[in-house]
């Protein structure tokens, strides 16, 4: 990926600005690829993320604030996001009996099955995106990301 070529500039970009732009460009590319990988399943990245969190609960229901806490990209509207998953039959929703303010959300067997397929697609997409990077480089990259 050549930054200057992509944004079609001949100017020398200051290192800090270039770094930020570079990162945004990479992020855009990754998002595009991931969105494409999930397209056959009709779910967004956020929805996929929520399904994974729910699976991680291992049978234990999660409420909306827990989901929101654990999401990679927080969005203000977990209610409507779960609506979508509910419509697809991937989750169940019920009022928590011990605290009726809370909503318990559980992944369904259908959701789990679909999620397994999505995992494969995402894993392939990840491999594709990171194909030029060695393990050492990945480690190095993660260390640098930690500095943000």
Question: Which residues lie across from 104 on neighbouring strands?
Answer: 94
Maximum alpha-carbon separation in the chain: 63
Asked if residue 79 binds DNA (CB under 7 A), the reply is yes
Neighbours of 50 (CB within 10 A): 27
Cα–Cα distance, 125 to 89 (Å, whole number)? 25
Question: Which residues lie across from 94 on neighbouring strands?
Answer: 104
In angstroms, what is the minimal distance from the CB of 1 to DNA? Answer: 18
Q: Which of residues 13-42 bind its own copies (CB under 8 A)?
A: 15-30, 34
Asked if residue 87 binds its own copies (CB under 8 A), the reply is no
Cα–Cα distance, 44 to 62 (Å, whole number)? 20
Buried b (16+ CB within 10 A) or exposed e, 3-20: beeeeeeeeeeeeeeeee
**Single residue of 5, 12, 73, 87 touching its own copies by CB under 8 A:** 73
**Single residue of 80, 127, 131, 132 touching DNA by CB under 7 A:** 80
Asked if residue 12 binds its own copies (CB under 8 A), the reply is no
In angstroms, what is the minimal distance from the CB of 76 to its own copies? Answer: 13
Q: What is the binding site for its own copies (CB under 8 A)?
A: 1-2, 7-9, 11, 15-30, 34, 56, 69-74, 123, 126-127, 129-130, 132-133, 135, 137-142, 144-148
Q: What is the binding site for DNA (CB under 7 A)?
A: 35, 44, 46, 63-66, 73-80, 82, 84, 93, 99-103
């Amino acid at each position: 990926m050549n930054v200057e070529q992509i944004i079609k500039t001949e100017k020398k970009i200051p290192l800090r600005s270039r770094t930020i732009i570079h990162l945004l460009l990479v992020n855009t590319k990754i998002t595009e690829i991931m969105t494409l990988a999930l397209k056959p399943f009709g779910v967004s990245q956020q929805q996929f993320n929520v399904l994974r969190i729910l699976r991680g609960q291992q049978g234990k229901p999660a409420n909306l604030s827990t989901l929101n806490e654990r999401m990679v990209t927080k969005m203000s509207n977990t209610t409507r996001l779960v609506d979508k998953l509910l419509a697809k039959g991937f989750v169940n929703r019920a009022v928590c009996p011990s605290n009726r303010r809370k909503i318990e959300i559980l992944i369904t067997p259908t959701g789990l099955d679909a999620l397994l397929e999505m995992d494969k697609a995402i894993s392939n997409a990840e491999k594709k995106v990171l194909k030029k990077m060695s393990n050492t480089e990945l480690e190095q990259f993660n260390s640098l990301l930690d500095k943000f």
